[in-house]
Structures are given as structure tokens and as C-alpha cells.
Structure 1
Amino acid sequence: MSENAEAVAVAVLGLGEMGAALATTLLDAGHPVTVWNRSQDKAQPLIDKGARAAATPEAAVGAAEVVIVNVKGGAVATELLGAAASALRGRTVVDLTDGSSEQSRATGQLVTEYGADYLHGQIMTIAPAIGSPDAVVFYGGRRPVFDRNEALLEVLGGRPTHVSDDPGVAVLYGMAVHDIMWGLLNGFLHAAALLGDAGIRIDDFQQRAQPSLAALTSLFPMLANEIDRAEFAVPYGALEHHLPSLDDLIAESKARGIDAALPTYTRTLVAEALAAGHGHDSYARLVERFSRG
């Protein structure tokens, strides 16, 4: 810890893979840490590093200024914070538990009623990267609460990012990144199966195709702008030009015995848009297909 940094007493509730990483990082940074977990044996490695173990969530909260919660599911987080309600007043809860946006708002409301401040954080990294300069965590909650705790949050990841006063927005940011991630990964794996069946090394492909692959994410600002403005007409790269390539990909996949469900679904989206008269619009027009009730 630097000479100008202030040691903050922190309680960490939940010592799974991520919770243990959070507690370890805080200890390494010189913060007093009290830990609690349903399975007490998970606390021992942290006790060996200097953490204090609490017998109950209430005892852990009572020993801290900031309470970090990282458990399995928003309902469990709410349960634990409810069990510690009498000790929460005047403290800050940083809820790093996965769940729905509605659940995070509900938990935040309860914590506020208990007299504590609330931030919800969505961790966008794996446990070993906690504390690294590149680790990103999205935070939702009142901006003054974030600002007051930003130095501590920087210990957990070098890029704490406040996205909204609404804690649910942080959850939606995290879900959106994962949503995009799964789409990209599934597309890559489908392509890898296709290339592999043809005897092509995937590593050779990704190296030679790197400029084209990198260009994909460079499209996001343009797509975002079109969606926000709801203006989709484009002079080039229109939807009508996607259909022949999709037909080729589906035919090649089927001929090689490769599962064609993913490109077939995409073809359905494009064909529906063409049938609705959007053939001269950009790919961003398909957002309306996902927005339908």
C-alpha cells in the first residue's frame, strides 16, 4: 500500500474462487480483512495470510467499514445481508454477486433501508486477474458512494467503471458483454469445426485472418450509432448481400456433417428482414428481431 493510501477495514462474505481472490488481493494491498463463509475450512488459507475469521455474517460486517459480498446468486446475497442487518448501518455494501438487474435493485433497496450505502459491481474477469491493471468491474449505485470508495475499488481491478446510479445497469452491462462473447466464441468454434474438417490448422487460419477478425469489433461503434438513431439504410454492405454467403456456409456445413444450426438461425433472421422490405438496410436492422415481444 502506498504512503498516501488509507487502510480500509473490509469484510468479505463468500470465499469461493472469486471471493477468495478478492480477499487475497485486499490483504496483499494492506487492508484489514475479516472473512466469512458457510464452509469455514475455506477461510484457513486467508487466515494464514492475516485475515480474521468471523463466526457469522453479522460479526464480519461489524468489524468492517466496507462489506464485499460474492456468493452464488442474488437471493443468497440478500439472505446474508438480511442476517447482518443490525450491523449494516453506516457501512458500504459492494455486492459483486451475479444475478438479475431486478434482484440487484431489490437488494440495494433493502441495504438502503438497513441504513447502508450500496454499490453493485459486475466483474468482467476471471479470479486470477483480480487486482491486475486490466481487470474491469462495472459499478452501479449512487455516484458519491462510488467516488468515496474508488481508491479501494481500484485495488480489486485497475479499471473500476461507474455506469449508472441504477445498480441494475451494471448487471446489464455485464450480461451484454457476455452475450457478445458467447456469440463470437460460438461463431469461432463453428468456423474451427468447418476448417478442421477440411484439414486446415486453426492457428494458421487465425493468424492469417487476424486483420479481418479484428475488424469485426471495429464495427460496434457504427452499429451502436445506427441502433440508437434507429436509422438503418446504408449505401453498401446491406442485408440483401448476406443471404448468398449464408446459403454457401450452410451448404458447406451440411456437406461436411458440421452442425448448421447456428448459420441457419442467422439466415432465418436475415430472410425475415428481407421479407419485411429491409434488404437495403444494414445488419443493425436485425436488432428489431430480438426486440419483438
Structure 2
Amino acid sequence: MTDLLPLAVLGLGPMGRALATAALAAGHPTVVWNRTPDKAAPLVAQGATLAPTAAEAADRARLVITCLIDYEALRATVAAPAGNPPATLVNLGSGPAAEARAMASWAAQHGTDYLDGAILTPAPTIGTPAATILYSGPRALYDRYRAVLACFGGTSTHVGDDAGAAAAYEMALLDLFTMSVGGLAHAYALATAEGIAPAAFAAYARAIGGLLPGMADRFAGHLEAGTFPADISSIASAASAVTHVRAAATARGLDTAALRAVQALLDRAVAAGHGGDNYARLTHLLTRESESIS
């Protein structure tokens, strides 16, 4: 198999355009398709071929890369009655792991070799060393196309034969990002309400953010060991702290819905006798089996 494989990129949002640009830069003959054809103009100027339909784009390529809004759009695009399913499909869109697994089942039923992927870095990183992409599905299939997929840059990692593995990583990481950004926005709102200038607050906010890498490692160690010693801080102290923060936010008229949710989780942990444990114990209390964990 030549490294200069004919590729099709379906879906030309910012990430899809970045993927097509990287493929072209690597010398791959690239066919593109988008529901709004005008978005393809800059890529055509770089040498891409615009196909009138997704089916025609897929027919012209050995490897089809998709980057669509969700799995429903993905299936509607590649299952169009006007064409045959792609021979090999790599989905780099986003969605829950269960939907990735369902898509893999659909692909198997239609004779399509399928990899699912998760792009963990922004569109401008694609084609550069800063890109990070996870892939899941048959390892042999990933190995077959690894040299081609390398054109998207950075670090590519196969995370398992389970087609949903990459999406599972992405959803959990988006969970972390979303909750962190929400907390950051709320913290700035409270600081501003208290008369603290955003620029002055930023230095201390960065310091708090710097605690997270170490906490991530400690969480992993405690969860794998199943032990939760409060050698740094405890759930009981966190429960006291969030009570104070909620009172301060309420006094300033801020929305405290997220704080109430966190406080409810901490209160559950304390009531269950885990006030003397560390924060990693909270992970168990977020599962359906929490009531049975001692």
C-alpha cells in the first residue's frame, strides 16, 4: 500500500477542513464533500477535488475520513441509498461511546472496515506536532493505516479494539473540561462580584489549576488501590469549604445550582461515613453502585 493513499474527507467544519488540509499537505490525493459546497473552495484551491455527493467522494477514495456533527449525521451520510458503504471508514467526529459501538456494528453488517477516533486538540493543531488523536477498533486495521493517519500530525494512539474506547476517553475528558470551565467562570463571577479585578485574580486561578495534574495521578492511584486516606485533605473539609463558597455566592446574587449539586454529593459522602476519606472516594458515589460501597 502506497503511503500516498487517495483519501476522502466528508464534513468540512473547522476540524474537517483542517484534516483535509493536512492530507493535501502530505501529498494524498484528496476528495472532499460537504452539505454546503462553498466551504470546499479553499481546499479546491489547494488541489482537492470536490465531489457532488458523499457517495461519489467515498467511491473515489481508498480511505474515507468523516468529521460530522454526530453519529446520526455520520450514518445518514455514509448510508445514503445512492451509493455503496465505504470500504474503510475512519470516523473522527464526536459522540458517546455507545454510539461509536453501534456505528461499528452497522459497519460490520455492511462490510465496512471501521475505526473510531477522538481528536483531543483544537483544529489549528491538526498536521502539527501538537495534535493528539486517539483511535479504537481492530488493531490490525489501525496498523494498516497508521502511516497514512500520521499526516494529521502529533501523537496518535490506539486505545483498544473496542470501537467505543476512543469516544469513552473523549467523553470523560470533555466531562473534566466542561466542569473545570464552568468552575472557572463561576470563580471569576464571584471574584468580580467581590471587587477583584480579573487580571489580579488570574495569577491565583492559574495556581489552583496547577494542582490538577497531581490530583489526577493521586486519584488514579487511590481508585486502583481502593483505599482513600485523607493524607492531604478530606471530604469533610471540602463539605465545609463548599458551604462557605455557596454562602458567599448567594450573598452576591450568583447562580449556585452547580455548587448545590457538589454540596449534595459531599453531604452524601459524609452521611455514608466517608467524611474522613479523600476526594477520590467521590468517584464511587457517582456510580449506580454507590449505595453498596462501604
Q: Does TM, normalized by the shorter one, top 0.5? A: yes
| Mapped partners of 1:229, 1:203: distance in 2 | 41
| Mapped partners of 1:72, 1:241: distance in 2 | 42
TM-score for the superposition, normalised by structure 1: 0.90
| Mapped partners of 1:44, 1:208: distance in 2 | 45
**1:206 aligned to 2:202?**
yes
Q: Share of identical aligned residues, percent? A: 37
Shift of the alpha carbon at 1:47? 1.4
> Structure 1 residues 271, 208: closer, same or farther in 2, change over 3 A?
closer
TM-score for the superposition, normalised by structure 2: 0.90
Letter of the structure 2 residue corresponding to residue 219 of structure 1:
M
Match of 2:292 in 1: none
Shift of the alpha carbon at 1:192? 0.8
Q: Could you say what secondary structure the match of 1:122 adopts? A: strand
**1:15 aligned to 2:26?**
no
Pick the aligned partner of 1:248 from 215, 230, 244: 244
Q: Could you say what secondary structure the match of 1:30 adopts? A: coil
| Contact 1:86–1:114, Cα closer than 8 Å, also in 2 | no
Unaligned runs of 5+ in 2: 290-294
Q: Could you say what secondary structure the match of 2:285 adopts? A: helix
Shift of the alpha carbon at 1:142? 1.0
Pick the aligned partner of 2:61 from 60, 64, 70: 64
| Contact 2:11–2:66, Cα closer than 8 Å, also in 1 | yes
**1:95 aligned to 2:91?**
yes
**Number of residues of Structure 1 aligned to a counterpart in Structure 2:** 287
- Map 1:132-147 → 2, pairs under 5 A: 132-147=128-143
Unaligned runs of 5+ in 1: none
RMSD between superposed Cα atoms in Å:
2.0
**1:215 aligned to 2:211?**
yes
| Mapped partners of 1:211, 1:14: distance in 2 | 39
| Contact 1:13–1:57, Cα closer than 8 Å, also in 2 | yes
Q: Which structure 1 residue ranges, 4+ long, deviate > 4 Å from structure 2?
A: none
Task: Decide which moves more: 148-157 or 171-180.
Answer: 148-157
**1:113 aligned to 2:112?**
no
- Map 1:1-293 → 2, pairs under 5 A: 6-83=3-80, 86=84, 88-89=86-87, 92-208=88-204, 210-292=206-288
Shift of the alpha carbon at 1:235? 4.0
| Mapped partners of 1:126, 1:235: distance in 2 | 37
| Contact 1:85–1:114, Cα closer than 8 Å, also in 2 | no
| Contact 1:233–1:281, Cα closer than 8 Å, also in 2 | yes
Letter of the structure 1 residue corresponding to residue 184 of structure 2:
F
Q: Could you say what secondary structure the match of 2:280 adopts? A: helix
| Contact 1:69–1:96, Cα closer than 8 Å, also in 2 | yes
| Contact 1:138–1:161, Cα closer than 8 Å, also in 2 | yes
| Mapped partners of 1:59, 1:286: distance in 2 | 51
| Mapped partners of 2:179, 2:85: distance in 1 | 43
Task: Decide which moves more: 126-135 or 183-192.
Answer: 126-135
1:159-196 Cα distance to aligned partner (Å, 9 max, x none) = 11211111111111111111000111111111111111
